[in-house]
Amino acid sequence: MGKMPVWADVLLVPLISLALAAFFSALVILGIGENPVEAFQLMVDGALKRSAGWGYTLYYTTNYIFTGLAVAVAFHARLFNIGGEGQAMIGGVGVALVCLYIPWPHWSLAIVGASIGAALFGAAWAFIPAYLQAKRGSHVVITTIMFNYIAFSVLGYLLVEVLRPTGSMDPASATFPDAVHLPNFHEMFAPEGSRMFRGAPANVTFFVALAACVVVWLLIWRTKLGYDIRSFGKSETAAKYAGISPLRITVIAMLISGALAGMMSVNTTLGESERLILNSTEGAGFVGIAVALMGRNHPIGILMAALLFGFLNQGGAELALWTSIPRELIVVIQALVILFTGALDNMVRMPLERLFLALNKKETT
């Protein structure tokens, strides 16, 4: 059967899907009586024209790289990890415990410790759904959804009853000590006295996220484990025949996925709020699904998609600030991207495949 060329699969299909999503988003903006072109310009101004805007865009990008990679690793094993939200929340608990109870002398050590804590806690939260999927056949999608809600309750309980400092009314942990403060972009890149990146939350964790992209790429395409994960995802029976244990791969892929989702909280909890709060994930776990779908489960694609969604999120915040368009517009755009790149993928793909098939036939005759 004639297939599409690779460039069409990795570039053309996502771009057409994105264009469709953009078209419908524009219709939505028109529908609520605003001008889509002006709205887009405002978003670009707010997210990309000023360094502080970039500082926010890259902060959100960092979150989405982690959750996007998390969803992608699971996708490679044909597992749909919808629980990034819960894993990130529990990862935050790991970060808070590490930062509150271990006296770190310097942030460079603290970020390592916090990353390990976040990854361990996130992975642990993914373990039960993974084990139940592999051992008892309980659908990982349903269990991870349930675990999102359980995570929210656990976090609520911990913040109200355990981690909340005495006398405080906020459901939040104590503020982390000054020694673990991560350098943000303003402290790292702004020349003396400059206002560059001032007040923006982007911090050194961004580079951890970039490193995670490289590590995931190495893992999936350059190691035996990655090969096992991909072959398991392509065909479970073939993988079994080749001596790959489904139990082992399912659990390992989900553990890695959970660890990556958990590490998002290094950025939010240690990098930004510097204490554990109730709603630090802000739906990033779900955005990760859109990011992985857009990025075709490849780290480079995920990096670009994460940038796009980081820009959308920051641009949307600016829109809400300057116009009467609520922030939820971004949720609509994210939903449309998931719809067109994920669920309606065949709608774009099937006519294109037919087109390329016809073109190929013409060439051969």
Residues in contact with another protein by the rule CB under 8 A: 28, 31-33, 80, 82, 128, 132, 136-139, 141-143, 145-147, 149-150, 152-154, 156-157, 160-161, 286, 289, 293, 324-326, 328-336, 338-339, 342-347, 350
DSSP label at residue 165:
P
Nearer to another protein, 269 or 334 (CB): 334
* Separation CA 17–CA 22 (nearest Å): 9
Nearer to another protein, 28 or 304 (CB): 28
> Please, what is the minimum distance in Å from the beta carbon of residue 332 to another protein?
4
> Please, what is the minimum distance in Å from the beta carbon of residue 326 to another protein?
5
Nearer to another protein, 44 or 128 (CB): 128
> In degrees to the nearest 10, what's the CA dihedral of 250, 290, 275, 256?
20
> Please, what is the minimum distance in Å from the beta carbon of residue 310 to another protein?
17
- What burial class does residue 71 get, using C-beta atoms within 10 Å of its C-beta: 0-12 exposed, 13-18 middle, 19+ buried? buried
Nearer to another protein, 202 or 338 (CB): 338
Nearer to another protein, 103 or 326 (CB): 326
* Separation CA 57–CA 52 (nearest Å): 9
Nearer to another protein, 113 or 122 (CB): 122
> Please, what is the minimum distance in Å from the beta carbon of residue 334 to another protein?
6
φ, ψ dihedrals at 298, nearest 5°: -110, 135
Structure-token pair, residue 289: 């699904």
> Please, what is the minimum distance in Å from the beta carbon of residue 233 to another protein?
14
> Please, what is the minimum distance in Å from the beta carbon of residue 294 to another protein?
12
Instruction: Tell me which long-range contacts 152-159 makes (C-beta under 8 A, separation of at least 24).
Output: 152/86, 152/89, 154/89, 154/90, 154/93, 155/89, 155/90, 155/92, 155/93, 155/276, 155/278, 156/278, 158/93, 158/276, 159/276, 159/277, 159/278
On whether the CB atoms of residues 55 and 203 are closer than 8 A, the answer is: no
Residue 305 DSSP SS3: helix
> Please, what is the minimum distance in Å from the beta carbon of residue 167 to another protein?
20
Residue 207's alpha-carbon distances to 232, 252, 348, in angstroms, are 31, 25, 35
Nearer to another protein, 170 or 187 (CB): 170
Nearer to another protein, 51 or 133 (CB): 133
On whether the CB atoms of residues 39 and 319 are closer than 8 A, the answer is: yes
> Please, what is the minimum distance in Å from the beta carbon of residue 268 to another protein?
20
- What burial class does residue 308 get, using C-beta atoms within 10 Å of its C-beta: 0-12 exposed, 13-18 middle, 19+ buried? buried
